[in-house]
Structure 1
Amino acid sequence: MRSTHSGYTRLTKAHKFSAAALTAAGAAAVAFGAASHAVAAPAPVKPVAWSAEAFGQAQDAERKDAADKAAEQARAEAAAAKHAAQAKADAKAKADAKAKADAKAKADKDRAEKQAANRSTTRAPLQKPAAPAAPAPKAYANDLEGWISEALDIMKAKGIPASYDGVKRNIMRESTGNPHAINDWDVNAVNGVPSKGLLQIIDPTFKAYHVEGTSWDIYDPVANIVASCNYAADKYGSMDNVNSAY
C-alpha cells in the first residue's frame, strides 16, 4: 500500500519487491530481444533498378505466354473435335457396312429358300402349245359357178391372169358349160386329138399347161379351166382376150 509522508510517496516492502522483479524482468526481455534481433536480422537486399523498357518486356513476355497457352488449348480442342468426328464417321461406316452385309445375307437366304421351294415343288410337264387348226378348206359348189370360182382361186395363187366373166364367156361359147363335151368333127378331131371339156382343150396342150395341184383328168372341170387359162395367158395374155376359137 501507499503511505504518504512529508509530501512524497513511500513504498512498502512488498511494493519494493514487486518493483525489483519488474525491473529485472524488463531488463531480461530487453536483453533477449536484443539477442534475437542480432541473430535473426536479414541480410541487406540490393535494390533493383526500375525502367519502362524492362516493364514493357515483362508485359510482352506475359502476353506471349498467354497467347501460347491459348493456341495450345485451341490446338488441343481442334484435335479432340477431329478425333470425335473421325470416331463418329468410323462408327457410321461400320454401321452402314453391317447393315449392307445383313441385307445381302437376308437376300441370299431368301433367294436360297425360294430356289429350294421351287425345286421341291412338283412341276407339271410343259405342254407344247397346240398348233393352230388348219383353216377348213373353202367349199365350192359342184356347178359351173363353183368350178369357175375354185379355178380362179388356184390361178390367183399361181399368178395366172383371168376374170370370172372372161372365163365364163369362153366356156359358154366352147361347151355351153358341159364338162364332158367333145368335138369330133373339127381339124383336131380329124387329126385324132379332139378338143375336150369345158374350154375344149386337146390332150397335148392340156398336158403341157397342166397346173400342179389339179387333176390330170382332162374332163375334170377345174383342171380343164386352169390348164386352158394357163395356155391362153401364154399365147394371148389372158383368157379375157380370147373371143373365138383359140
Structure 2
Amino acid sequence: MDISGKVAVVTGATGGLGWDICRSLAREGVKLCMVYGTSVDKAEAQQQELAAAGCDAIAVQADIGNQQGIDVMLKAAEDAFGGIDILVLDAAYNESIPFRDLDALDADKWSHIIDFNLTAPYLAVRAAVPYLQKRGGGRIVTVSSVGGNLPASSSIAYSVSKAGLQHLSRCLAVALAPDILVNDVAPGLMAGTRMTGKLTEEHFNRSKDSSALKKTVDRDDVAAAVVMFAKTDSITGQSLVIDSGRCFK
C-alpha cells in the first residue's frame, strides 16, 4: 500500500527508536503527529528538522498513560490533518529490577509498568478505532520487546507487559479485521534508547553477548519493520522479533 499522504500518530516519538520510526515514515511521505511526554525542546527540534525536510509534522505533548492524554493526541491529529490512518504505539516504561528481587517489584511498580505498557495501548487503540474507521480503515503497529518472548528483561513486570502486548495485538487483529490491520514488532537490545539506558552495564553486556550475532539490534531495522506493517495489505496478527538472533521459535 502506498502510504504517501497518510497520517500517522507515533507515541514515544522523541525516544531513540521513536525518532527513527518518525524519520522512516517521513521518508515515505507520511504526515506525522509526534507524541511525547516531557522532552519539549527535543520534540520541537525534531519537528523542525522534519519540516525542513518537507515533512508535514506536529509535535504533541500528552500523557498517553491515561485516557485524557490519549484523547489529546488523537484530537490533535484530527485537528491538524483531518484524520488518522496509522497508529504506532512505541511509548513504554521500564525499571531495572532483578527477577529474583520480588520485594523490589512491589504492587505499585507492578501496576505502573503493566498499566503504561499494556492497559494504555489498549485504551489508545480503543479510542483510535473510530478515527481510523472514518477514513476507511488503517494500520496499527505495537512495539513490544523480545522480553515478551523470553523470561529475561529489565523486570518481570516489563516482560509480562510485553508478552501481553503481543497477544493484545493478535486479539485486536481478529477484532478489527478486515478494515484495520494490527501487527507487532518485538525488538531485542538496542543501543541509544531510553529503555536500554535504564539497564545496568552487566545486564546490557549479558543481553548483547547472548545473541547469535553478539551485537545490539540496528534501530533502522526495527523502524523499517514498522514501515512494512504500515504499508502491508495482507499481514495481520503477527509479531516480528528483531533481536540479533537471541530468541528462536
Indicate whether the TM-score tops 0.5.
Answer: no
Report the TM-score, using the length of structure 1 for normalisation: 0.19
Higher helix share: 1
Of structures 1 and 2, the one with the larger relative CO (CA 8 A, separation 6+) is: 2
Report the TM-score, using the length of structure 2 for normalisation: 0.19
Q: Which has the larger radius of gyration?
A: 1
